[in-house]
Amino acid sequence: MTDPLSLGFIGRNGAFPANEAGRRSDVVIAIGGRFDDRSASSWMPGYSWNFPHTKLIHVDVDPAELGRNYPPDLGILADARTFLRQLLAELERRGARPSTKEWLADIAKWRAEWETFVRPNFDIHASPMRPERVVADCQAVMPPDGIICCDVGVSHNWYMQFWNARQPQCMLNSWGFSGMGFGASGALGAKLAAPDRPVVAVTGDGCFTMVPHVLCTAVEYDIPVVWVIWNNFGWVSIRDIQLGMFGGREYGTMFHQGANKKPFNPDFAAWARAAGVEALTVTKSEDFRGALEHAIKANKPFLLDVHVDAEVRPPSTGAWELPPTPYKEPVFGQRFIPDAAPVK
């Protein structure tokens, strides 16, 4: 993702340049892509993709994927490497050098626009932490071959939008399957597979509470992973869907205690210590980077309970809707898209 031609993830909370490029393309060559609802903005035209106005060449080794979500103009059943080798050889043979200057200039403009919009928030220190700082500090501390295991929920949206994976297989996601606890427990598997590389799980307070037994397994088998609990005291991704769909009302998704509705969660650090895992609670953004460095260096199971602001939402650059899918303007981006027919 450090290559200048890599634009980041596309879809609901993808990067703005990726969605702009996707929805404005003349032709898309998709190699091993599934066009699931999250990456395709629930298939609503003009958000992430603009088929059939855009021509689609879909390459996959699994015939079931071709035409499953979008009918391709050309479907090619092939191994990705073989297809790319043959394509490159053919371009070479034909001496084809299409001009991409204007397209690359457009992309540079979208990148600059996105940077201007998001970058200032990365410098804000606050308590509870702003989400951008959690991502930025992880990015600064993790070595390029370190493995980040994303769980499900708001934290995943932020990592999709801003994480730059520097090597293959360094960012593990459950994508649309989205099983809560995937990150917290998947980290153990990743560490067993790659014992010499740091492994950090970024997991919501709700996700972690689904699989707290990972603490015991890590101690029992001596698996030195770090859990960063993205603690926003609720199932905030679900809360936000409720707020959006039910006129600002929410039920049962924020964790409270007592008559005055004090935010509630278990003391995750104490919970970890009870299982024999070292732990720290981080409430101020200034403390996070050092705590993460310390936890990785400790080279033993380590938990950081990090308090993150539930009221800062990831910028919406695409869309995601439960059916029926109404047509709405995304918050950021989407001005004029040729031929994008509004969904009724």
Tell me how crowded residue 251 is: count the other CB atoms within 10 A of its CB. 8
Q: Which stretch binds Mg ion (CB under 5 A): 2-10, 82-90, 168-176, 224-232?
A: 224-232
Give, as one character, the DSSP assignment of residue 177: G
Choose the contact partner of 155 out of ligand TPP, Mg ion, none; CB within 5 to 8 A by kind: ligand TPP
Binding region for ligand TPP (CB under 6 A) out of 2-10, 120-128, 233-241, 270-278: 233-241
138 binds ligand TPP (CB under 6 A): no
| 205 is a contact residue toward Mg ion (CB under 5 A) | yes
Q: C-beta of 53: minimal distance to ligand TPP in Å?
A: 33
CB nearer to ligand TPP: give 177 or 336: 177
Q: Can you read off the two tokens belonging to residue 182?
A: 């995937």
Residues listed for the chain: 344
Quote the CA–CA distance of 276 and 218 in Å, as a whole number.
10
- Does the N-terminal peptide bond of residue 301 adopt cis geometry, omega within 30 degrees of 0? no
**Residue among 237, 265, 316, 317 that touches ligand TPP (CB under 6 A):** 237
Distance CA(327)–CA(319), nearest Å, equals 9
Residues 279-318 that bind ligand TPP (CB under 6 A): none
Q: Which of 11, 22, 204, 318 binds Mg ion (CB under 5 A)?
A: 204
Which of ligand TPP, Mg ion, none lies near 207, with the C-beta cut-off 5 to 8 A by kind? Answer: ligand TPP
Amino acid identity for residue 294 in this structure? H
H-state helical runs in 47-122: 80-94, 101-118
The stretch near ligand TPP (CB under 6 A) out of 24-32, 61-69, 232-240, 288-296 is 232-240
Torsion (CA) 324, 327, 331, 335 in degrees, nearest 10: 150
Integer CA distances (angstroms), 205 to 13, 156, 214, 249, 289, in order: 20, 13, 14, 22, 19
> Is residue 46 within the footprint of ligand TPP (CB under 6 A)?
no
Toward Mg ion, which CB reaches closer, 41 or 209? Answer: 209
279-304 b/e with 16+ CB inside 10 Å = b?
bbbbeebebbbebbeebbeeebbbbb
Residue 78 binding partner per list ligand TPP, Mg ion, none, with a CB distance cut-off of 5 to 8 Å that depends on partner kind: none
Shortest Cβ distance from residue 334 to Mg ion (Å)?
28
Q: Would you count residue 179 as binding ligand TPP (CB under 6 A)? A: yes
69 vs 42: CA distance, rounded Å: 10
Find the shortest distance in angstroms from Cβ 245 to ligand TPP. 15
The yes or no reply on residue 204 touching ligand TPP (CB under 6 A) is yes
Strand ranges across the sheet with 27-31: 27-31, 55-60, 74-77
Q: Which residue is nearest to ligand TPP (CB)?
A: 204
* Residues near ligand TPP (CB under 6 A): 152-155, 178-180, 204-207, 230, 232, 234-238
